[in-house]
Amino acid sequence: MEKRETMWESYRRRGLSRRTFIKGCVALTSLMGLSSGMVSKVVEAAETKQLPVVIWIHGHECTGCDESFIRSAAPLASDLILNNVALEYDHLLSAGSGEPFEEHLEKTIQAYNGKYILAVEGAVATKGSGIYCMSGGHPFLETLQRAAKGAAAIIAYGTCAVSGGIQSAAPNPTGSAGIGHFIGAKDVVNVPGCPPIPEVMTGVVMHVALFGKLPPLDSQGRPKQFYGNRIHDTCYRRPFFDAGLFADSYDDAGSKAGWCLYKLGCRGPETYNSCGNIRWFQGMSYPVQSGAPCIGCANANFWNQGPFSDRLPKYGPLGDIDKIGAGLAVATTAGVAAHGVLSVYQRSRRDAEAAESDEVKGGEDK
């Protein structure tokens, strides 16, 4: 087995300074959700660990996960696949194809047995002897099991790989399911989302690459640093939820004023993901910010829990929002004021009233 370079050696080969390397390590530390005290450990790992071999396979999916991954900005996906890992095989990103490409997969599995990271996107299609999802001439299930056997760690990227996703939506004609059912007792990091956030994808693979072990996981196998909060916990519309101010339709005054989207079907109260913190497109926005309720894309079976415009039947101790709406608004206003959020609430209410009066005027003009 050839000796591969370390990340530090890769920086030097490209003529990059020690300062740039350290800055890169600091950025990686933060990306992985580690405290600044861990920077020295990241530097040490980046200096001494050979770049890990990664095999990245695709099952039954839409390729959205890779499309998301290549938009990672910190680190850049191009940096990650060219300089931070040794990506030996990827159905989408590799230049190779055909029989030589499939032979390369076999050689890589054998040469790095027990040492490579296996990244998997997409579900396993089981019906019709696997004919609904073939990979290199084999049912995807065979490719998955062959590659999983010698993997040091397995990352399931996307809700399809984690729990079947849209591929397993009722009536599930292809018999699709998440990969966990098919790879025995192997440790799997589950990174759900349809697709997952790009920086979450790079953060997880870099954790495994640098530390040679899985990041801390929750009871569903998700990395705690990225799936420790609900969308609802970090939502900037939360003061409106707490104040009982809800948009009733996509173009009403409440919607224009940025009120809570719960009544439009928002799944934020039951969905764990980092969209509210990291956001998408280099921190630019995320569904709730663009005016669309969270549809719970990181939840198992979310495609079967539609229509997405149907609101959650109830939310925790609050019960049915319809029954408590007005009372909640009054009761929570005092609390909102105490927390200094009243100005946001008042401004928004004024905005809503102004928008409402504009709408009335617009109607009168016609």
Residue 262 binds ligand SF4, judged by CB under 6 A? yes
CB of 288 vs ligand F3S, minimal distance in Å: 6
Work out the burial of residue 364: count CB atoms within 10 Å of its CB; fewer than 13 is exposed, 13-18 middle, 19 or more buried.
exposed
Q: Residues 60, 237, 256, 279: which binds ligand SF4 (CB under 6 A)?
A: 237
Residue 174 binds ligand FSX, judged by CB under 6 A? no
Neighbours of 73 (CB within 10 A): 12
Residue 241 binds ligand SF4, judged by CB under 6 A? yes
Residue 231 binds ligand SF4, judged by CB under 6 A? yes
Q: Among 268, 15, 65, which Cα is nearest to 165's?
A: 65
Q: Which residue has the closest beta carbon to ligand F3S?
A: 294
Q: How many residues does the chain have?
A: 366
Residue 273 binds ligand F3S, judged by CB under 6 A? yes
Q: Which residue has the closest beta carbon to ligand SF4?
A: 268
Residue 90 binds ligand FSX, judged by CB under 6 A? no
Cβ proximity to ligand SF4: between 140 and 240 the closer is 240
Q: Residues 31, 45, 194, 300: which binds ligand FSX (CB under 6 A)?
A: 194
Cβ proximity to ligand SF4: between 244 and 269 the closer is 269
Residue 133 binds ligand SF4, judged by CB under 6 A? no
Q: Residues 33, 52, 122, 268: which binds ligand FSX (CB under 6 A)?
A: 122
CB of 296 vs ligand F3S, minimal distance in Å: 6
d(Cα 58, Cα 121) in Å, to the nearest integer?
Answer: 5
In the list ligand SF4, ligand F3S, ligand FSX, none, the entry touching 298 (Cβ below 5 to 8 angstroms by class) is ligand F3S
d(Cα 5, Cα 48) in Å, to the nearest integer?
Answer: 9
Residue 301 binds ligand FSX, judged by CB under 6 A? no
CB of 309 vs ligand FSX, minimal distance in Å: 20
CB of 169 vs ligand SF4, minimal distance in Å: 23
Residue 275 binds ligand F3S, judged by CB under 6 A? yes
Segment contacting ligand F3S by CB under 6 A, of 1-9, 58-66, 146-154, 290-298: 290-298
* Strand partners for 76: 73
Please list every residue from 129 through 168 that binds ligand FSX, using CB under 6 A: 158-160, 165-166
Instruction: Give, in order, the Cα–Cα distances in Å from 276 to each of 197, 230, 235.
Output: 11, 9, 6
In the list ligand FSX, ligand F3S, ligand SF4, none, the entry touching 162 (Cβ below 5 to 8 angstroms by class) is none
CB of 231 vs ligand F3S, minimal distance in Å: 5
Applying CB under 6 A, which residues contact ligand SF4? 231-232, 235, 237-238, 241, 260-262, 266, 268-269, 288, 294
- The residues of the shown chain that bind ligand FSX, judged by CB under 6 A, are 61-65, 121-122, 158-160, 165-166, 194-195
**Residues lying near ligand F3S in the complex (CB under 6 A):** 193, 231, 271, 273, 275, 286-288, 294-298
